């Protein structure tokens, strides 16, 4: 008697403004697309009213309260082409103001997410400037609420120094041009193409696991260098997320992002934000360096916590 086994199914949930995150997600699943016994479906999230790209400056700043508080936007969710049951869900997202981008946090709060993710192993794929720790904490909470289990996390960050991306990333999202800008003074923004191409190795590991009919667990990407936790950002991200939360309440009390009052507040907040970034981030990094000999064990614990489940 011939035993019929169904094709393995992988669902990729993604959203991208510039296309960067889409390229990362596609590169990652590329090895699976050529396997006849693996079906890969894509759910491209589309907000009813999409966010602008490039962003006008005040609209960009005014996205922080809704991002930090994860206020959902309406999505056009067409799931008619999707299967009922997936062996693995890949959630590819970018970070907005130390939180998952609004389309992603909105999706994670829908009944559709609850039913697609329930009981499923999930791999998160992040492509952002370089500050993703607090966003992933929020995503972890959503996954726990949806009874999904996080089995892997793969992170791609901009391929230039933190100081350079402080200029290159905002210039990119505000002009729509990656650069280089200003005669090469500000390098090109975004994840390096070689890193995007290298994402395929994670897809190969997923394919291997499916072909061996092994269950997905937290060992999936161990030892593959899927994430690197920059310890310098641990404290500054916590402070930043707290600040976005508190200031966000004030902004939200002033109405919708387009309201005049919020436009005015945003002007003031830009100055505050820049001052925060150029003081708090280096200051906490400096304090961390000074205290390094005394905090080694604690930092190691934090790095292991934030790099879970993939490990560094
Ligand atoms: C509104 C907004 C806020 C952002 N905030 C952060 C952030 O807090 N941390 C970070 O590492 N990157 C941040 N980025 C960069 C994005 O994570 C991402 O790298 C970039 O927007 C490209 O993503 P895309 O694939 O949607 O084009 C932000 C981008 C935008 C548009």
Write down the residue that tokens 């992603």 correspond to. 104
Whether 279 and 193 have beta carbons less than 8 Å apart is answered as no
- Taking the centre of ligand 1 as the mean of its atom positions, its distance from the CA of residue 153, in whole angstroms, is 18
Q: Which ligand 1 atom sits nearest the alpha carbon of residue 20? A: 25
Separation of CA 232 and ligand 1 centre (Å):
19
CA torsion 304-306-310-312 (nearest 10°) is -60
Residue 4 is predicted with a pLDDT of 45
CATH superfamily of 8-228: Flavodoxin domain (3.40.50.360)
| Cα–ligand 1 centroid distance for 159 (angstroms) | 14
Transcribe 144-157 into DSSP letters: HHTT-EEEEEEEEE
For residues 130 and 285, is the Cβ–Cβ distance under 8 A? no
| No. of helices (H) and no. of strands (E), the chain | 11, 7
Where do the structural domains in the chain lie, given as residue ranges?
8-228, 234-302
Q: Answer yes or no: is the C-beta of 138 below 6 A from any ligand 1 atom.
A: no
Give the residue from 59, 234, 282 showing the smallest Cα distance to 130: 234
Nearest CA to ligand 1 atom 6: 96
pLDDT of residue 277: 81
d(CA 18, CA 21): 8
Q: Whose CA is nearest to atom 10 of ligand 1?
A: 129
Q: Which residues contact 112 (CB under 8 A, 6 or more apart)?
A: 77, 79
Atom 30 of ligand 1, residue of closest alpha carbon: 96
Q: Walk along the chain (312 residues) in steps of 10 and give the mean pLDDT of each run.
A: 70 98 98 97 97 97 97 96 95 98 98 97 98 98 98 97 93 96 93 98 98 96 97 90 96 95 94 85 84 90 97 91
Task: Using alpha carbons, list the distances in angstroms from residue 36 to 7, 27, 263.
Answer: 8, 18, 52
Report the largest interatomic distance among the alpha carbons of the chain, rounded to a whole angstrom. 73
What pLDDT was estimated at residue 183?
87
Pocket test for ligand 1, best of 135, 169, 179, 273 (most atoms within 8 A of CB): 169
The DSSP code sequence of 19-79 is SHHHHHHHHHHHHHHT-TTEEEEEEE--BSSPPPSSPPHHHHHTTHHHHHTTPPPPB----
Rounded to two decimals, the pTM is: 0.95
Instruction: Tell me which residue has tokens 């696991």.
Output: 209
The atom of ligand 1 lying closest to the CA of 126 is: 17
């Amino acid at each position: 008697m011939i035993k019929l086994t169904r094709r393995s199914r992988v669902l990729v949930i993604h959203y991208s403004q510039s296309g960067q995150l889409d390229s990362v997600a596609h590169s990652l699943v590329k090895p699976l697309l050529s396997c006849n016994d693996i079906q890969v479906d894509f759910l491209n999230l589309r907000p009813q009213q999409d966010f602008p790209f490039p962003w006008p400056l005040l609209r960009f700043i005014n996205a922080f309260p809704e991002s930090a508080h994860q206020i959902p936007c309406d999505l056009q969710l067409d799931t008619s082409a999707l299967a009922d049951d997936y062996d693995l869900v890949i959630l590819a997202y970018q970070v907005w103001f130390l939180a998952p981008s609004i389309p992603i946090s909105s999706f994670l709060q829908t009944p559709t997410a609850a039913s697609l993710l329930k009981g499923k192993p999930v791999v998160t794929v992040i492509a952002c400037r370089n500050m993703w720790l607090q966003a992933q904490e929020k995503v972890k909470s959503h996954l726990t609420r949806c009874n999904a289990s996080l089995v892997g996390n793969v992170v791609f960050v901009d391929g230039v120094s933190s100081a350079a991306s402080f200029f290159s990333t905002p210039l990119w999202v505000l002009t729509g041009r990656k650069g280089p800008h200003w005669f090469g003074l500000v390098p090109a923004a975004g994840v390096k193409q070689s890193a995007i191409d290298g994402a395929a190795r994670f897809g190969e590991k997923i394919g291997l696991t499916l072909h061996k009919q092994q269950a997905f667990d937290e060992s999936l990407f161990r030892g593959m260098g899927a994430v690197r936790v920059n310890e310098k950002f641990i404290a500054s991200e916590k402070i930043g997320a707290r600040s976005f939360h508190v200031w966000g309440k004030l902004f939200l009390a002033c109405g919708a992002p387009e309201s005049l009052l919020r436009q005015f507040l945003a002007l003031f907040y830009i100055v505050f934000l820049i001052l925060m970034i150029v003081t708090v981030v280096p200051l906490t990094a400096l304090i961390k360096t000074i205290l390094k000999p005394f905090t080694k064990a604690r930092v190691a614990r934090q790095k292991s916590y934030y790099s879970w489940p993939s490990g560094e």
